[in-house]
Structure formats: C-alpha cells, structure tokens
Amino acid sequence: MTQSHQCGGAHEVVPDRSTSAIANDTTLTSDLVHANHILFERGVVDAFGHVSARSLTNPNVYFLSRNKAPGAVLEEDIIQFDLDSNPLNADGRPVYLERFIHGEIYKAHPEVMAVVHSHSPTVVPFSIVKNTPFRAVCHMAGFIGPNPPVFEIRDVAGDESDLLITNNQLGAALAKSLGKNVVVLMRGHGSTVVADTLKKAVFRAVYTEVNARTQAEAMRIGEINPLTPGEAVNTSRSNETQVDRAWNLWKKAAQDMHAKLLG
C-alpha cells in the first residue's frame, strides 16, 4: 500500500474489493462532476476537499472522485466505494485518505444521499474560536440551525493526530457528532455538509460559506442577531425548493470556468 500524507489532499492506492455491487448511475456521476466544478468555482473547495453521492440504485455504494483537485475532475475519475470505503473499481488509481468521512456518514445516516467535505476559508475560524459559536444568521442558510456541532478529533485520536479522518473509527465518530444536523464543523480542519440530494448538498455547502462570511462581517459591526430555531426551519423549507435555480446558474459558470482551465 502506498500512502502520501498531504494536508487535505492525502491519498493512497488500495486494492479493489471484489464485489458484485457495482452500480450504474450515469446521470448521477455526471452531476457529481458538475458538483466538483461548482464547489471550486464558488470558492468552497480549492485544490483540496471532496464531494460524494450515494448510488440511487444501490444504497450500499457511493461515488467519489479519485484523488484529484475538484476543479479538474472528469467523469472517468469517478470511483465507486462500499460503505466501509473500500474502492470497487479504482483499478490502481489513488484514492482520498479521507474517504471514510463519506462512507461512515452514509452508514450511520441512511437518509443522506450526498456529502461535501471542505476547508472553506471563512468557516474554519468558527471551528477554533471557543466563545463565538457558528449560527444561522442569514435566510439562505437556515439549514445550519441554531447550534451546529463542532467535531473534536482529540476526543478520539488524542492530541497528536494530523486532524485527517483516515479510518472508519474516526469517520464513525464524525458521523456520530453530526447527529441530526446537516452541518458539522471540524476543529482546525473545515466542515462537512450533508443532504438528501447532491444538488442540495452543494447548495448547502455554498451557503455555509456565505453564512460564515456574513456572520464574520456582522461581528465586525456589533453583536449578531441570529435566526430563531423556527426561522431556521422555515427559511430552509422555503429556500430549498429553489435549489435547481441556483444549480443551473452555478453549473453554467462552472462549465465556463472549466473550459478556460482546459483551454
């Protein structure tokens, strides 16, 4: 087994697990490529971070890119994994060390169909400032709720870890910390966002970063007035009927960006 430990972009080459569980989700894999590009174009991920989607035909399989910068992902880079995060068809391609984030969340939360892990720059500070909790402060981010959890890896791995989720034990602890929330911050690392559709997960990841920027800027002016729990629920219910509107716009912008990258 070959490993490379690079912050946020660590990867390893792992033998494929022999299985008959290979899924066929052509539209989903195409959308997963677009999701990678959108998250890069929106500034949620850079060279690091990843997004996955659970198979629509086999709930015990999920799709995730090979180890690659999200903005450069192509459809042929998409690999299938079982819920223990064993690759099924990597064929020697390197995979993310942090794939366990995805597998363990899918295992623990059967309602989750997509997962975004990122180090979006304005969210990370809220994971390390003890007396300034992250809150839903704008109507587009009501899904964050009044008290999103912060995962503390020291509780599981001690105080000398590399902060990466590199095995099933750490992934399971993160999935437990997520609980019934849709956003979990990861101390000194980033955040993980989930949803029952891929497009909604991308929407939530984008607006998690927007909310962080809004909260940080508001705190420069004065004391913040966050959404109430009821406002968080109802704004989320209203806004998430409009996910396709955002997806279609962001997809076009990401396609233009990707064409320039390839040009």
Residues identified as active-site: 98
Angle at 176 between CA 57 and CA 107, to 5 degrees: 20
Q: Using an 8 Å Cβ cutoff, are 174 and 114 in contact?
A: no
DSSP 8-state class, residue 87: B
CA distance 81 to 54: 9
Token representation of residue 157: 């791995």
Question: Of all helices (H) and strands (E), which one includes residue 234?
Answer: helix 229-239
Token representation of residue 17: 């697990």
Residue 9: CB atoms within 10 Å: 19
Q: Using an 8 Å Cβ cutoff, are 136 and 143 in contact?
A: yes
CA distance 85 to 88: 9
Dihedral, 60, 34, 194, 196 alpha carbons, nearest 10: -70
User: How far is C-alpha 14 from the geometric centre of its chain's CA atoms?
Assistant: 22
